[in-house]
Each structure stands twice: as structure tokens, then as C-alpha cells.
Amino acid sequence: MRRHVIALTTFLAFYLCCLPVIADDDQNVAKEGIDVEQFLRDYCIDCHDSDNAEGERSFDTFALPLDSVSGLITANEIIDQITLKAMPPEDADQPSDDRRLAVVGQLREAVMRSKQSFQSKGGRTVMRRLSKREYENTLADLFGRRVDTLGLTADFPKDATSRHLDTIGESKVTSGFLLDQYFQAANRLVEYRLGKPQTEPRDWHFKDNFRQYEELTGAHKSVFKFEFLCLYEQPNTDTRQGGYAHIEDFLKGVPVSGLYDIEVHAAAMHRDTHYDADIFRIDFSEPFQLAVVPGDARKGHIHYPQAIEPILGQAIVPDNDPEWLTFRVWLEKGQTPRFIFPNGPYESRASVIEVNKRYKDEFEGKNYRSGVVRTHILLHGELPHIKIGEVKVHGPLKEQGGSAEEIAVFGRDGFQKEKAAEQLYAFARRAFRRPLVAADRDRIDAMYQRRLTEQATPRQAALDTLKLILCSPSFLYLSEQTDDDVTVLPSVDLASRLSYTLWAGPPDDALLKIGESGELAKKNVLRQQIREMLKDDRTSRFVEGFLDSWLNLRDLGNLPPPRKDARDYYAKNLPRSMKREARLYFKHLLDSNGAVTELLDSDYTFVDKHLAAFYGLPEKDSMRLADGFQRVEFKGEAKRGGVLGMAAVLTVSANGVDTSPVTRGVWVSENILGIVPPPPPDDVPAIDANVSGAETIREKLTLHRADPACNVCHRKIDPLGYALEAFDPIGRYRTKYPKVRGKSAKIDTTGELLTGERYSDVTSFKQLLLSTQRDRFLHHLVETFLSYATGRHMEPTDQFEIEEIVARLQDQGYGLQDLVVESLSSEIFRSP
């Protein structure tokens, strides 16, 4: 079924909100005086008949009253296009405004009359499996401990998305390969965490043989005799020389998974270096940081980045004189601790070359050699780095009352073979997120007894049955299985749908009990529960997942800029800060019930020191990295307010190399207004985005739009992107394009929407969106959220209730938390 891409709120936002109230007699006059079919014949049929259906829309069979869903879709699309003045096109004969309004009014009345006539034929959520992020969250919640150290989904296929949403059931295809990966993941989790042998704590103490590889080997052997382990750069660089410090004598890693205490005798060297700080791309006013990540010598080069390396602990390193730093970390069997320098210099090799070039006179007579040679600098120079002299490891530590996994599966008393079945039933109820039925218990009993007959110990039989539970469709899928005639989702299924929406994970015991009791089916209980759930820290998972979908932030980093053009993007890990800004901003509005209009424009945001400097905010001079993210008010920086001024959005709506009003216009059209432009015809050549001399991209688009086939779409798209040309491919503000052949063209940020409203820059563009597109934006946000929450795309028949939600939000002040509550207590969300 074709997507209803433009919401009914369009005409409310533009013209219909300005129409006078029409009495019944006047409405009858309007009906008699305006013939919709005649209007279509006069202004639309030339482009939209069965032989020439532009945009795959044919109107020659359209008639009132509406008697089909396809007719309802067509009516809505006609309403949208007429109110936007997108139809008829500019170069065609135009109807008077009175005739436009009369036709729109008659169509809207026809749509409303049809509300009771149509019932959704396919608007049921299909059974869908958990996404990768939901799968890992679910395991972490069930077992009471993070599981990212295991890398359970590292080899899973990439989750498919549908219109950028990763929760749509129809896109969650399951393959034989994925099923095998589920088994491997369950086996690894259970054996590493619950099947490990009892191991007494032991101590390791490393004081020498701190070998480092490749370019560092010779210098460390001659200068340090391998008695020091050093870090020279941040991790994940291109050159990979000193970004990871491992323990050569501990490559086999820890014997079992568990908690370990790690002590590191370390010092920050030459933070007061007299070398130019620009050589290292580092802020020497900030203390050096040391972090611990896992490494596995079986998974690749131990001194290179690996797929599984979450930060396990982090500390400030004292200057010059070494001190003991202590970390308590979780390591999996076979993992060895590695040390990184998160705020270290950017690319050690480049900095060494530059020091050798610019300060060679200081090394006269001291065995100086140019290039990447470090020996003389380590002996006689001031190369900033972290120096580690000793490392102690102690563990695995005994956990008071038993491990989190043991308690989660078997309870405080641990595994008891005489109660094995009851223990497994209790865990399966939590894993399946519903009461067990007889078939569930039969399968659990059968697996447990089978393993006993195969000579497994009772505990091992229970662990193998646990793997069966973790590979069951009842665990891997949000089944929500109901009969076709059921119109309301059962309370227990509603609990799971609610928790996976707001927590991206399973319901906790309290929510599951409410679901099992049937109380959640009561709308007042549901609304109260939603408010309570929004207070939980787990809502950060919803914020992350929803913004990755709605704003496409999942794609941030897929098209990175060239390193030479945006060194800070890499040196300061700006993508992480960019995403964090958007998440904190959205979370603030959610917690405070702030108006969704602030997503389009505001006078504040949240930044850390790196982002403050990137934006050129005055706080860059007073903030410290230790401050983390702070709310800052914009003073003369109105262009940054709202998501359209955020670097994350501006980066993901470009290609890393250059910008285009078309690309960003499409992004605004799809993500802010909910209008998905059709793809360009196959025979239309691509636009060369390069700007040479005075020839700007705007001028090229003007030429491109001279072709009528191109103008149909570009006249709608381009004005939505011109204002954002004020930002470069990673969101830096600019007034001119980069120089080409010695010339730099000035950026023109003015534009005119299809409806005639003009703007001069990004600030007035945002204000224009607020004044003319506010309700369209609100409708699209509600529709996107409901699609995300239900696991299905909205249908035309859903638009009636979405309109009602929008109307209530308008009365309540546009609060984001209200949007969530109204949407999640709607019939759409509560339907199977």
C-alpha cells in the first residue's frame, strides 16, 4: 500500500485554520458551486491521467464520495498538494484562492465523512524479532550485567531498516545464518558467565618485557630496554603507532570471565612541552587520561583496534611523578587488559616527523635522524606521552552473595537440582515476557531430562536448557500473537510493547506483574505507567534508538570527511559529541515536557568543551573536559538553535566532502515535514556539486531546474536546503564556499517556499518552518513515533486518530512528554 506521506494537518497549518466558520447552508452552496472532478480536469488531468501519471498518481478515475482506501489516499494527497500550491505547477494555469479553498474544504469534508466507512485491512503489527540493540539490552537486563564485552552481535548481519526505522517487523528477516549466530551467542554467554569453573583469585605483576611493535620496537628497546609501556596517541588512528599498550607476557588473558582489579603505575610525561601544541592536535591545559579496554590476541593484532573494545574504566594520570591508578573491570575469558590515551595526540607518526623537522637544531650532536625516528626525542626531547612502569592484575574477584548471572537465573540460593525445573520456569517467564503455558514447560522439561540421560550433570543440563530458552522464538521475537478478531492487545503483550518502546528492553518485574494482572488494559493505569517509566534511566535507550531512526543519526560517520580537511573531527572524536548533544537535548525536552517546537528552534543546547569550541561559543574558554556536557544559552548564535543547527544533523545530511541544497532539502522534507520526494527520473543527469569560481551550486540548480522534468521536484526541495548551505559538510558555520582556483563564492542563504513565504538565512528559515509548518511537523513526529513504537508503518486509516492526537497536543502546549503519553495510550498503539 502506498505511503500516505503528507499528513492531514497540512491544510490546518496553512489555509484551513484561516477559513471562516461556514454554516450548513453555506456548505451546501459550496458543494453546488464547486465540482472537484471538474477542478481536476481543469488543472490536474493533463499530468495525472492514466497515460501520463506523474509521480505514479492518476486522477482520471477519482470521484466522490470516497468508497475505497486508495481513494482516501488520493484525496489526502490532493489536499496536501493544493494547500501547498504544489499543484498545479507554476507554469500552468492557476485557480483562484477561493476555488482552491473551496475544493480543499469539500475534499476534507469527504475525508471526514469516510472515517466511519473504512476499517484497516492490514494495520496489524507483524511478529518481529528483536533488533541487535534490543537483543543485547534484553540480555543485559535479564542477567544483571553488561554484555558488550562479549561482542555477541559482532558477527550478526546488519539490521535492515524501513524508512530509517529499525523496529519495523516486515524488515526483520531471519536467516539460517542468523539462527546459528543466536545459538553461538547463547552458548558463549552461558558458558562464559555461568559455566565457568570455580577459580580462586590470583595475582599477576608485570614490571618488564613491555614490548611494543612496529615503529616503536627499536626506540623502546634502545631507550627503555622494554621496561616501560608507553602511549603516544589516541586510539583508532590511521598510523596506529602507540595508540594501544598491551602486556606482552599476558597475551593469553584471564583464565575465566569475571571482575578483576588492575593497578597501573603511570605518569603523564611532558604535558608542559615547549613544542607547538598544534603539532599534536591536543589541549595541553587538560590532564592526560588513561582508559582500559579489553583485547584478545586471538581476534587480531593486539596493538590495533578490535571489534570488541568498550571502555571498562578511565582515570586522570598525574604529571611527571608516577602514581598507582586502580581500575575494577570485567574481563571475559581470554581477554587481556589494554590501555589507551583517549585525549592523546592525533597520529604519533605525523607529530614525530614534524618535531624532527621543526626542532632538529635542539638535537644537534645527539644522534639526530629525521623522519619517524623517535629514539633521540625520547632520550633528549619532550615528546608528550603516558609512561607505565608496572601493572598488577588481581582476580577473579568473588562477588558478595554470588554472581549477578547466578542470581538472575537461579536466585539467591544458587542452582538446586531438586528445584531446577521451577528455577528454569521462573527465568523463562522473564525471558519470554509472559506467563508460561503448558507447551513451554513441556519443552523445558524435555530438554532438561534429555541432557540428564546424555550423562550431563544436573547443573550442565540446566545451563543447556537455559541456552534453549535464549534461542526460543518466544525470547527472540515480540510475537504479540492474537486472533484476527481481537482488537485490543492483551495487557501482558502491551507491557512488552511498552517496555521495548521506552526502554528498548524487557519489562521489569513490576511492569510484568501489572501486565499479567490485566490492569494495563485500563487507559488511566497505562497513562500513569508511561509517566513512571519515563522517569527511569533506561529511557536513554529510547532516545538513542528513536533519534538514530528519526534523524538518521545511525548513519553519522558512514561518510566521514577527509582527515586533512577536518582533523578535529577525528582528533576530538566529534561524532561522539555530536550525537550526545542531540540525545541530551531531546532527553531534556522529554523530561521537562518541553514543547516539540523547540526541536525546530530554541536559544540553548548542550555542549562539551570540544563542541563548544567547534561551534565557536564563548564557553569554550571556561569549560573543561571534566565538566562533560553543560546547557549553554545562545547569545547571537540563533542559527544553532534546534536540530537544524546541530552538527550531527548537518553532518548526516551531507556526504563528508561537500554540501548540496538538494541533499539537505530532501533531508528536511523527509525528516521534518514527512514528505518523501520521488527519485529523479533515470534519464536525468546528476548535478555536479563542485563550485568553481563564481559558479555556485544555486546557479547550477537554477540551470538544472530549467528542465521541466527536473523543476517539478526541485522547486519543492531546493528551498528547504538553501539556508543550510551556511554550514559545511560537518556543520561548521561559513559565509563562503571553499576556494577553487583562487576564487571563493559567497553563500546565498535566501530562499522562497512554494507557498510564497521568503526567508533570508537559517534563523528566519527556522522561524518560517515554525510559523507555517508547525502542525505538519508535529503530525510527522507523532506518525514516526507511532511507527517506531508499534513496529509497523501508519496507514491512511490511522490518520484520523493521529489527527486527534495532534489536536490534543495543540491544546496541551505541544509537550514532548505529552506526545509520548498520548501516542502510547492511543488505540493505534494498543491494537494488535
pLDDT 10s digits, 670-683: 999 998 887 765 55
For the whole model, what pTM was predicted? Answer: 0.85
The pLDDT value given to residue 610: 95
Q: Who has greater pLDDT, 118 or 624?
A: 624
By CB neighbour count within 10 A (0-12 exposed, 13-18 middle, 19+ buried), where does 299 fall? middle
User: According to the 3-state scheme, what is the secondary structure of 324-375?
Assistant: EEEEEEEECCCCEEEEECCCCCCCHHHHHHHHHHHCHHHHCCCCCCCCCCCH
The average pLDDT across 702-720 equals 70
Query: Do residues 4 and 76 touch, judged by C-beta distance below 8 A?
Result: yes
Please count the CA atoms within 13 angstroms of the CA of 574 that sit on its side-chain side.
25
Q: By the 8 A CB rule, do 496 and 478 touch?
A: yes
Position 467 scores a pLDDT of 98
Partners of 394 in beta bridges: 203, 261
The average pLDDT across 625-645 equals 91
pLDDT for residue 701 is more than 60? yes
- The rounded distance, in Å, linking the Cα atoms of 799 and 729 is 36
- State pLDDT tens for residues 13-66: 332 333 333 233 334 333 433 577 778 777 777 677 656 655 556 676 777 877
Bridge partners (DSSP) listed for residue 245: 339
Kindly state the DSSP code that residue 670 receives in the 8-state scheme: H
Using 50, 70 and 90 to split pLDDT, how confident is the model at 239? confident
- Give how far Cα 820 sits from Cα of 317, 519, 707, 791, 799, Å: 44, 20, 44, 15, 17
Q: Specify whether the CB–CB gap between 324 and 240 falls below 8 A.
A: no
- pLDDT on residue 190: 98
Report whether pLDDT(665) > 90. Answer: yes
Q: ∠ at Cα 465 (397, 184), nearest 5°?
A: 70
Residues contacting 28, CB < 8 A, separation 6+? none
Alpha carbon 255 to its chain centroid, in Å, reads 36
Q: Distance from first CA to last CA of the chain, Å, rounded? A: 19
- Give the residue with greater pLDDT, 128 vs 532: 532
Lowest mean pLDDT across 91-95, 266-270, 363-367, 475-479: 91-95
pLDDT per position as a tens digit, 754-786: 888 999 999 999 999 999 999 999 999 999 999
Q: Cα–Cα distance between 220 and 212 in angstroms, integer? A: 7
d(Cα 649, Cα 451) in Å, to the nearest integer? Answer: 53
What was the pLDDT predicted at 55?
52
Give the pLDDT mean for 227-239: 92
Averaged pLDDT of the chain? 88
Q: How confident is the model at residue 699 (pLDDT cuts 50, 70, 90)?
A: low
Question: In this predicted structure, which of 173-177, 634-638, 669-673 has the lowest mean pLDDT?
Answer: 634-638
